[in-house]
Each structure stands twice: as structure tokens, then as C-alpha cells.
Amino acid sequence: MLVEQLIRETLELQGFRIESVEKKDSELLVTIKPDLRYHPRCGACGLSGDYRDTLPKRYFRHVPIWGIDVNIANSPCRVSCLRCNGIHVEQMPWAAGKKRFTKALAVTIATWARQLTWQQVARMFGCSWGTVASAVAYAVAFGLARRDLSAVTHIGIDEISRQKGHVYLTNVYDLKTGTLLWSTEGRSTDSLDSFFDFFGPERTKQLKGICCDMWPAFIKAVKAKAPQATLVFDKFHIVKKLTEAVDTVRRQEITEKGKEHQKLVAGSRYIWLKNPWNLTDRQKASLDSLEKLNLTIHRAYLLKELFRDFWQSATKDVATKFLGQWCSWADESLIKPMQEVAKLLRKHEENILTYFDMPISNGIVEGLNNKAKVISHRAYGFRTAKNFILNLYHCMGDLAMPTTLHRFV
């Protein structure tokens, strides 16, 4: 097969023809001319128009062939368009928007960028990091413009730390499909308001359930923008509050009782924090020994484990009674961190108990947030929130990719 035929098989050329393929230095230069059997099409609307003039030659990078760089050369014309009532550069079917690379190369780079870091992809194709970012931006813009959000009825909201110093992103996920719907900087009321503004009033009215943590800014935004939806506080965040309280008790007890006590409970941190069924045999033996010492940490641990029964309540009424009883036990324990958790649960009791009306949780969201952290760690972080959000959409948004004449990956 001739190289010219390979180019024709991998490049959209309707309205154009290949004039020549020549090797210049270490690359192939493909010169393209208009096919006079076709009228030029407007680059804005796609309608056939009248030729006006020809612009200087432009070069577009194509997918390498056997490691040899391929560049497309074309002198585009300008078109007088009746529909647009203006003059526009003609439509070039191989071009990725206004980028100086072909659609095929953009899709190939973007596909690899879902598996590797952008820097690795740049080295693979011998291009700059910025070229990879542009290809991903092109693919993401294509996918976002074509996704269907009409069936979204249950969403999960959570924040993720982008870098040190309490710098956060707010992510909104579809709980049914596990895909990223929205990501923006910050974790304020305005951050979440921007999602509802984007989502629109009609789709917001269709929301039946919203799951989030007990962050006041999120609560305020949800109640203002989607009052008809059932707000459920995520049980995994409640469990996290309990484990944090238990760990606080452990540290406080070590501080109060000194070095002798520290030696006694050395290496026991994860015994108190892990699920009982995940303890190793050695940890189980250590727990049995520590239980006999009547430690404050052990009483806090028992309260934490006892709260598991709350989620197994048969009805909402049973859960209400259990929550009140547990909070009383926490108060009577005189363990301050556990009392603070009880106070928090009482404050948000209404939306904790809605779990029994609509048993949704952010379990899938926590998994997706971990994936987001892997994306960031794999790339050793991103300097700007814009690029991090772009990569999150690309890897977690389940977005459609542009179709190409030939699939390279």
C-alpha cells in the first residue's frame, strides 16, 4: 500500500485531494488541495458558500506513521456565507477546531492521556505538554457538548483537596452511573450554586435525592436550589467523624497518662480504627488484652462499634429511638470527643434519618474521589485547578470521544 493511500485511509478529505506526499528531513509532508468538484463549505455553519480568497499555507500535525512525523499542508480559502451573512475560513474536515493538529491525532493523544500522565504522552508523541492539554481540552469539549443529563435524579456532592493549604475542589457525581457531572474550585455555597446554575431549573426539579456531608455551605446551597429533593447526610462521613473522635480520645489519653501508658498502647492505633472483621489475628489478640485495662479509648471504641446498629434499623422510628439512646450513652460516658459527635448528630438528626426514606450514600463517590487523587498523584499534581478539572472530566466523566476515519488506539 502506498503512503498516499495510508494517509487517505486515515484522514477525512471530503472536498479535498492529496496533491503530493514527500519526505522532508525526518518527516512526511502531505500537501492537500481543494477538490474542484465540491464547493467550499463555511467553517462556522457547514453550508456551501462562494470562494472569496486564499489564505497563507497552514500546517497540521497528523498521527505519526511507524514513528515518522506526518504534517499536513493546506492553503485554506475564505468563504462568503449567506446563512452566516459573513466571511469565514472554509471547513477543513480533518482539523480539530482551530488547533494545528488533526482530529485523528487529537483523539489518539486524548485516548492515551486517560491511561498515562500528560508528560508521558508528550514524550511518546514528541510534542509539548501544552499540545497534550489542548488535545484533551478538545476531546472534553466535544464530550461535554453531547452528554445527556436528562436522566439524572440522584447526585452525590463531595470535596477533594487539590493541594496543601485547604485548597479544595467541589465535585458532583451521578450516583446511578458513577460519573462526574461537575467540578469547580472551592467548597463554598457559591461553588455549589454554580453547579445548579449550570444544571438548570428544569433538571434541578427532577432531582429526587442528594447526598452530601454535613458541610454548612453545601446544606445551604441544596436547600435553596433544590428544596424538593431529599437531602441525605452521607453515612460514610458520619462513620469518619466517629473514627476521628476515637483517635482523638487515644491521643488525649496518651498525653494525660504519660510515657508508661504510651508504651502500653504502642502500635494500637489501627486496632481501634479498623472494622473488627478486618483485624488480623495478632490485632485481635492485642484488642483482647487492651479490653481488660478499662481504658477510656476502649469505651470510646465500644460506642463507635455500637453505632453500626443504627444503619441496620428496620424502620425510621426504630432508628430515631436508637439515635436518641446512643446520644444519651455518649453524653453519659463523659468522653468529650464522643459527646461532640453526639451533639453534631442531634443537630443534623433530620437529614441523617432521611437515609431510611431514601437509602443513598456517597460510597461510590468516595471511590471516585480516590480515583481523582490517583490521577493527581500520578501526574505529581497540577499547577492549576483548570487542568486538574479538565483531566477529571476526561477520566471520570464517561464522555464520548470524537469519531475519526481510522482508530489508532
Separation of first and last alpha carbons in the chain = 21
Q: Please give the model's pTM, rounded to 2 decimal places.
A: 0.85
How many angstroms separate the CA atoms of 3 and 172, rounded? 47
pLDDT in tens, the chain (409 residues): 488 888 888 888 888 999 989 988 888 999 999 988 888 999 888 888 888 999 999 999 999 888 889 999 999 999 998 888 899 999 999 998 888 999 999 999 999 999 988 899 999 998 888 999 999 999 999 999 999 999 999 999 998 887 776 788 999 999 999 899 999 998 899 999 999 999 999 999 999 999 998 999 999 999 999 999 999 999 889 999 999 998 898 888 877 776 766 666 776 777 777 887 887 888 778 777 777 777 888 889 889 999 999 999 999 999 999 999 999 999 999 999 999 999 999 999 999 999 999 998 888 888 888 888 888 877 766 778 888 899 999 999 999 998 887 777 7
Q: How far, CA to CA in Å, does 307 sit from each of 312, 319, 322?
A: 10, 11, 9
- If you write DSSP's letter for every residue of 282-327 in order, what string do you get? HHHHHHHHHHTT--HHHHHHHHHHHTHHHHT-SSHHHHHHHHHHHH
Largest pairwise CA distance in the chain = 92
Rounded alpha-carbon distances, angstroms, from residue 400 to 140, 204, 262, 267, 329: 8, 23, 55, 49, 53
The radius of gyration of the chain from alpha carbons, rounded to an integer in Å, stands at 29
Rounded distance between C-alpha atoms, residue 150 and residue 152, angstroms: 6
Nearest Cα to Cα of residue 191 among 164, 151, 162: 162
Say how far apart CA 156 and CA 366 lie, in whole Å. 10
Give CATH 3.30.420.10 domain extents, the chain: 154-234+361-396
Q: At 321, which amino acid appears?
A: K
- What the block records as the C-alpha cell of 124 is 511518546
Distances (CA, A) of 83 to 48, 87, 233, 309: 9, 10, 52, 67
Distance, CA of 216 to CA of 333 (rounded, Å) = 28
For CA atoms 245, 247, 249, 251, give the dihedral sign.
Answer: negative
C-alpha cell at 340: 461532640
Alpha carbon distances (Å) from 232 to 156, 218, 345, 358: 10, 12, 13, 8
For 42, other C-beta atoms within 10 Å of its C-beta total: 22
Domain 154-234+361-396 CATH superfamily: Ribonuclease H-like superfamily/Ribonuclease H (3.30.420.10)
Q: Which residue is associated with the grid cell 476531546?
A: 139
